[in-house]
Structures are given as C-alpha cells and as structure tokens.
Amino acid sequence: MATTTAHTEQPSEGHKGAFPPFDPHTFPSQLVWLAITFIILYVVMSKLAIPQVGSIIENRQKRIADDLAQAQKAKEQADAAIAAYEKALADARGRAQAIATEMRETQAAAADTTRKQLETQLNAKLADAEKAIVATKQAAMSNVAGIAKDAAAAIVERLIGSAPADQDVTSAVAEALKR
C-alpha cells in the first residue's frame, strides 16, 4: 500500500508592487512598444489586408452589377418575347377572323345559288303540276256532266217510274252546273 503524505508550504511573499502593465514606471516603454506594434500592424493592414478586402468588395459589387445587368437584359428579352407572342396571337386572330368571314361569305353565296336553282326547279315543277291539275279538272268536269246526266236520269226514272227525255236531262244538268 502506498502512504500518503501531506505537505504544507507557505507561499512566498512575491511581488508587493502594482501589476506590471499598470505600473507607472513602465509606461514609457509600453507606449514605445504600443507605437511600434501599431505602426507594424497599420503597415501590414494597409499593404495586405485592406487591399484584399477592398478587392473582394469590388469583385462582389461588380458581380452584383453584372447579375443585375443580366437580369435586366433577361427581363427585356422576356418582355420582347411576350410582345412578339401577343402580336403573333393578335395577327392569328385577325387572320382567323378574315378566313371565317371569307368562308361564311363563300358558303352564303353557294347556298344562295343552290336556293335559286331549287326555287327555279320547284317553280317549274309547280307550273307543270298546275297544268296537270287544270287538265285533270277539265277532264273530270267533262266526265261530271255525263255522270250527272246519267245520275239525274236514273233518279228521275226511279221517282216517276219512266225515263225522262235526254234533252230535258241535258238542259237541267247544264243549268245546275252554271250555278
């Protein structure tokens, strides 16, 4: 087993003065070193760091300006494309309207021509039909007189029991047809 020993030491008295950076006797040397350090740091910063930071800032500004210019150019191209599209669409609508109007007029003219031809044909057929009706009517009317004479003679014979004279029946039928 290991033994444990305890030591009690007294700390030494050490420095009794002020903390060295705050000691007024060391201020001149501290100021000299501060000036030397500041000058070295200033030279290093002005020769190395500041130009690099400045060039980085300039590059970023240039990149931002280029990006903005490209975005503006793309916007102008998009606006031009939209304008061309709208113009093409308006032209297409105009052409479609013109074609539709032309087609409507062509079809109306063709329909009018066909209608006139049909009317002419129908009028000719109607005139032929009217002639046929007049001829049929005249033929029927000529037959009506004969049928009427026969019917009148038959009726009178049945009523009185003897046949009437043909001349009497003909004059009676002619008189009745005049009315």
What range does the domain containing 87 cover? Answer: 45-178
Reported pTM: 0.40
**At residue 60, does pLDDT exceed 60?**
yes
Q: How many domains does the chain have?
A: 1
Measure Cα distances from 38 to 27, 49, 50 in Å: 16, 15, 15
pLDDT value, residue 1: 60
- Which percentage of the chain shows pLDDT scores above 70? 91
Tens-digit pLDDT profile for residues 136-153:
888 877 777 777 778 888
Judged by average pLDDT, the poorest of 19-28, 31-40, 88-97 is 19-28
Q: What is the DSSP annotation of 64-108?
A: HHHHHHHHHHHHHHHHHHHHHHHHHHHHHHHHHHHHHHHHHHHHH
Q: Is residue 151 part of a domain?
A: yes
Give the end-to-end CA distance of the chain in Å, rounded to a whole number. 169
Q: Is residue 24 part of a domain?
A: no
Tens-digit pLDDT profile for residues 12-27:
565 566 777 788 888 8
Structure-block tokens of residue 177: 């047809």
Q: Is residue 7 part of a domain?
A: no
Structure-block tokens of residue 68: 């903005």
CA-CA distance, 103 to 106, in Å (whole number)? 5
